[in-house]
Amino acid sequence: MISSEYVVKKSDDKELRLIIELGIPEPDPTSETGDYRCKFSVLALDIDEYIYGVDAIQSYCMVLKRFNFLVNDLISEGCKFYYPDFLDMEVDIVSTYF
Protein backbone atom coordinates (compact mmCIF):
# COMPACT_ATOMS: atom_id res chain seq x y z
CA MET A 1 0.00 0.00 0.00
CA ILE A 2 1.28 3.46 -0.86
CA SER A 3 -0.17 6.59 0.67
CA SER A 4 -0.07 10.38 0.58
CA GLU A 5 -1.48 12.85 3.05
CA TYR A 6 -3.10 16.18 2.23
CA VAL A 7 -5.07 18.89 3.93
CA VAL A 8 -8.08 19.92 1.88
CA LYS A 9 -9.56 23.32 2.55
CA LYS A 10 -13.22 23.38 1.59
CA SER A 11 -15.00 26.42 0.22
CA ASP A 12 -16.54 27.00 3.69
CA ASP A 13 -12.98 27.24 5.14
CA LYS A 14 -13.28 23.90 6.95
CA GLU A 15 -10.25 21.64 6.71
CA LEU A 16 -10.26 17.95 6.00
CA ARG A 17 -7.19 15.75 6.45
CA LEU A 18 -7.06 13.14 3.71
CA ILE A 19 -4.86 10.08 3.62
CA ILE A 20 -5.15 8.63 0.14
CA GLU A 21 -4.03 5.01 -0.14
CA LEU A 22 -3.48 3.02 -3.32
CA GLY A 23 -2.90 -0.69 -3.15
CA ILE A 24 -0.46 -2.79 -5.09
CA PRO A 25 -2.12 -4.85 -7.83
CA GLU A 26 -3.07 -8.33 -6.69
CA PRO A 27 -4.95 -11.22 -8.28
CA ASP A 28 -8.68 -10.98 -7.65
CA PRO A 29 -9.47 -14.02 -5.49
CA THR A 30 -13.02 -14.20 -6.88
CA SER A 31 -12.02 -14.07 -10.55
CA GLU A 32 -12.17 -17.18 -12.68
CA THR A 33 -10.34 -15.46 -15.55
CA GLY A 34 -7.23 -14.12 -13.80
CA ASP A 35 -8.37 -10.53 -13.28
CA TYR A 36 -6.54 -8.21 -10.88
CA ARG A 37 -7.60 -5.59 -8.38
CA CYS A 38 -6.13 -2.61 -6.50
CA LYS A 39 -7.32 -1.19 -3.21
CA PHE A 40 -8.36 2.49 -3.09
CA SER A 41 -8.98 4.08 0.30
CA VAL A 42 -9.76 7.56 1.54
CA LEU A 43 -11.25 6.79 4.92
CA ALA A 44 -12.06 10.44 5.76
CA LEU A 45 -14.50 10.30 2.82
CA ASP A 46 -15.75 6.77 3.59
CA ILE A 47 -14.06 5.35 0.48
CA ASP A 48 -12.64 1.86 0.87
CA GLU A 49 -12.99 -0.14 -2.32
CA TYR A 50 -11.27 -2.29 -4.90
CA ILE A 51 -10.77 -1.23 -8.50
CA TYR A 52 -10.56 -4.05 -11.04
CA GLY A 53 -8.73 -4.70 -14.30
CA VAL A 54 -7.93 -7.56 -16.63
CA ASP A 55 -4.29 -7.50 -15.54
CA ALA A 56 -2.07 -5.84 -12.94
CA ILE A 57 -1.23 -2.82 -15.08
CA GLN A 58 -4.84 -2.10 -15.99
CA SER A 59 -6.00 -2.41 -12.38
CA TYR A 60 -3.30 0.06 -11.30
CA CYS A 61 -4.15 2.47 -14.14
CA MET A 62 -7.81 2.26 -13.16
CA VAL A 63 -7.08 3.04 -9.50
CA LEU A 64 -5.09 6.10 -10.64
CA LYS A 65 -8.08 7.14 -12.75
CA ARG A 66 -10.32 6.77 -9.68
CA PHE A 67 -7.91 8.99 -7.77
CA ASN A 68 -8.11 11.54 -10.59
CA PHE A 69 -11.93 11.53 -10.49
CA LEU A 70 -11.89 12.10 -6.73
CA VAL A 71 -9.47 15.03 -7.01
CA ASN A 72 -11.46 16.65 -9.81
CA ASP A 73 -14.73 16.24 -7.91
CA LEU A 74 -13.24 17.94 -4.85
CA ILE A 75 -11.79 20.77 -6.94
CA SER A 76 -15.15 21.32 -8.64
CA GLU A 77 -16.68 21.70 -5.15
CA GLY A 78 -14.19 24.51 -4.44
CA CYS A 79 -11.66 22.50 -2.44
CA LYS A 80 -7.96 23.34 -2.42
CA PHE A 81 -5.13 20.93 -1.61
CA TYR A 82 -2.15 21.51 0.71
CA TYR A 83 0.63 19.41 2.17
CA PRO A 84 0.13 19.06 5.94
CA ASP A 85 3.13 21.13 6.99
CA PHE A 86 2.71 23.81 4.30
CA LEU A 87 -0.78 25.25 4.69
CA ASP A 88 0.23 28.58 3.17
CA MET A 89 1.18 27.06 -0.22
CA GLU A 90 -1.56 25.46 -2.32
CA VAL A 91 -0.65 22.29 -4.21
CA ASP A 92 -1.70 22.07 -7.85
CA ILE A 93 -2.54 18.42 -7.39
CA VAL A 94 -3.81 17.89 -10.93
CA SER A 95 -0.51 19.07 -12.45
CA THR A 96 1.48 17.20 -9.83
CA TYR A 97 -0.02 13.78 -10.55
CA PHE A 98 -1.91 13.94 -13.80
Give 63-87 pLDDT, tens digit per residue. Answer: 999 999 999 999 999 999 999 999 9
pLDDT in tens, 2-56: 999 999 999 898 999 999 999 999 999 999 999 999 999 999 999 999 999 999 9
The pLDDT score that the predictor gives to residue 20 is: 95
Per the domain annotation, does 24 fall within a domain?
yes
pTM: 0.87
Per the domain annotation, does 6 fall within a domain?
yes
Per the domain annotation, does 98 fall within a domain?
no
Q: Distances in Å between the alpha carbon of 91 and those of 6, 30, 49, 51, 67?
A: 9, 39, 26, 26, 16
Its domain, for residue 18, covers 2-92
Per the domain annotation, does 69 fall within a domain?
yes
Task: From 37, 68, 69, 40, select the one nearest 53 (Cα to Cα).
Answer: 37
Per the domain annotation, does 73 fall within a domain?
yes
Per the domain annotation, does 48 fall within a domain?
yes
Per the domain annotation, does 56 fall within a domain?
yes
Number of structural domains in the chain: 1
